[in-house]
């Protein structure tokens, strides 16, 4: 499973929601709190080109904020990125049932 890094601040409802989503999937998150760390904030800006928190990275892939991650999850794209599934649309079981025509 690739490392998941999340830039956060102390009072951040979107960060809480993002951490809950990943926690429900059993994914460990390295949290980098930028609140009192200007160097870390510059790092987040440089890596994401965004100023809001959270900013989430799965390995080297910039997922974005909570909304971006939730949308990826709804499209079935998050689990494969996290290494939890390699069948993003869940076609595997149905496809084998259909068989060749």
Q: Which residues bind ligand GSH (CB under 6 A)?
A: 12-15, 51-54, 65-67
Nearest residue to ligand GSH, using CB?
65
Shortest distance in whole angstroms from residue 30 CB to ligand GSH: 17
CA dihedral 12, 32, 46, 67 (to 10 degrees): -40
Shortest distance in whole angstroms from residue 13 CB to ligand GSH: 5
CA dist., res. 35 & res. 37, Å (int): 6
CA dist., res. 68 & res. 20, Å (int): 15
Identity of the residue, 27 or 56, whose beta carbon is nearer to ligand GSH in the bound complex: 56
Shortest distance in whole angstroms from residue 29 CB to ligand GSH: 14
């Amino acid at each position: 499973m690739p490392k998941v890094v999340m830039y956060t601040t102390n009072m951040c409802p979107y960060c809480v929601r993002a951490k809950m989503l990943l926690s429900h999937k059993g994914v460990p998150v390295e949290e980098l709190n930028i609140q009192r760390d200007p160097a870390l904030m510059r790092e987040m800006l440089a890596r994401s080109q965004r100023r809001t928190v959270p900013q989430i990275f799965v390995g080297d892939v910039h997922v974005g904020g909570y909304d971006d991650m939730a949308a990826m999850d709804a499209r079935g794209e998050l689990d494969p990125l996290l290494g939890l599934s390699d069948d993003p649309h869940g076609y595997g079981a149905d496809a084998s049932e259909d068989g060749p025509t």
